[in-house]
Amino acid sequence: MIIRRSYYFQLKANASQRTQLSRFAGCCRLVWNKGLELQKKRLDQQKRPLTYAEECAELIGWKKEIPFLQEIHSQPLQQTLKNLDRAMKDGLSNDRGFPKFKKKGQKDSFRYPQGTKLDDDKIYLPKIGWVKFRKSREIEGTVKNVTVSKNAGKWYISIQVEMEVPEPIHPATSAVGIDLGVTKFATLSDGTVLESINSGKKLKKKLARQQRTLSRRTKFSANWKEQKAKIQKTHSKIANVRNDYLHKASSEMSKNHALIILEDLKVRSMTKSAKGTEDAPSKNVAAKSGLNRSILDQGWYEFKRQLKYKQEWAGGMMILVNPKHTSQTCSMCSHTAAENRQSQSQFQCVNCGYLDNADLNAAKNILAAGRAALACGDIGRNAA
């Protein structure tokens, strides 16, 4: 089978190279914004959006109008237009949202689809030169593309590789159902419990304090920029701690279980604005906002994404099941009633008297639903 993976390293760029990296990212941002502006004008005039090839033709004109664009390698600029073309198609065909204009200093990045070279702990970026990076592990496979990005004031590279490996056979034979939660990150049907990391909650007070300090600074002053960098660093730490925890948890589960069954949770719908609308304002806004933050702090979607590809690499399978009534159904007699859920942590069936931890009972129901779908062959749309 063909697998693709990414290697993420921090660049050790000097001052001149950092300036070049910023110029490349800025020019790609300019091309994105000009391309998006042109597409919006065409849509406002009831015209069809430009294709990627037509946008590349426009790029030639932009290079004549803006001379410094000619100093940037053409591939990152063309890749930016390719990304915009895909974002336009996604925005017009589904609910992923229409692409937005990019702001300076936010998610600065650019990509080389080809032309880069690797030499131990150095990488050659066309029109920038050889740049050293912190090589923490060996890179295996054929390099397909390289993405350069900036996060919390530091530059990173993501090297995507492709390799062909023998069709994997999972070493384990066990199946497990997983109930995701807020109080406990995950409860497995075999009784294993993973505590919530809550990286955002732990640094919430520090982040709020830093943001109050920022509000007292003169906007765009040197002190304001310095404080802004501190906030970005805190956000980066929150994301890194969460991502590290999710990778360790998903790797452990993927190694130990050939079949993993999860609820098909719609996180975007679950975390909609707590305020509601003018016609239908929400109640208990503060409580709902807190719940939304807690759900997003867990990283359920990212956890599901990691499990999916790790199971594929290991030769296992992941199935998504309908989450309806999994917390109200008795795993012993299958009786479903809201009264079965005695509290956040306790489950007691009003029909047969079965007593269990509420999350563990839900995990057992998830496992049973997944096995039933597998036995009936009804996993075409549920297999992840």
Amino acid letter, residue 361: N
Give the phi and the psi of residue 73 in degrees, each rounded to 5.
Answer: -60, 140
CA–CA–CA angle 90, 92, 93 (5° rounding):
65
Give the phi and the psi of residue 275 in degrees, each rounded to 5.
Answer: -80, -25
Cα distance from N-terminal residue to C-terminal residue, the chain: 17
Amino acid letter, residue 131: V
Q: DSSP characters for 352-370?
A: T--EEEHHHHHHHHHHHHH
Q: Model-level pTM greater than 0.85?
A: yes
What letters, b where the CB count within 10 A reaches 16 and e where it falls short, cover 94-130? eeeeebeebeebeebbbbbeeebeeeeeebebeebee
Q: Do 357 and 281 contact (CB within 8 A), yes or no?
A: no
Condensed to tens digits (0 to 9), the pLDDT of residues 265-303 reads 988 888 887 776 666 666 778 888 888 899 999 999 999
Condensed to tens digits (0 to 9), the pLDDT of residues 294-330 reads 999 999 999 999 999 999 999 999 999 999 999 999 9
Q: In which residue are the tokens 């000009």 written?
A: 34
Nearest to 260 by CA among 320, 331, 180, 170: 320
Residues annotated catalytic, as ranges: 179, 263, 359
125 half-sphere exposure, CB direction, 13 A CA radius = 25
Alpha-carbon gap, residue 217 to 227, rounded angstroms: 8
| DSSP summary character for residue 51 | P
Nearest to 179 by CA among 53, 309, 329: 329
Alpha-carbon gap, residue 54 to 88, rounded angstroms: 14
Give the phi and the psi of residue 318 in degrees, each rounded to 5.
Answer: -125, 130
Condensed to tens digits (0 to 9), the pLDDT of residues 175-224 reads 999 999 999 999 999 999 999 999 999 999 999 999 999 999 999 999 99
Cα 16 to its chain centre, rounded Å, is: 32
Condensed to tens digits (0 to 9), the pLDDT of residues 88-137 reads 999 888 777 889 999 998 899 999 999 999 999 999 999 999 999 999 99
Give percent above pLDDT 70 in the chain.
96
Amino acid letter, residue 320: L
Nearest to 115 by CA among 78, 151, 88, 86: 78
| DSSP summary character for residue 168 | P
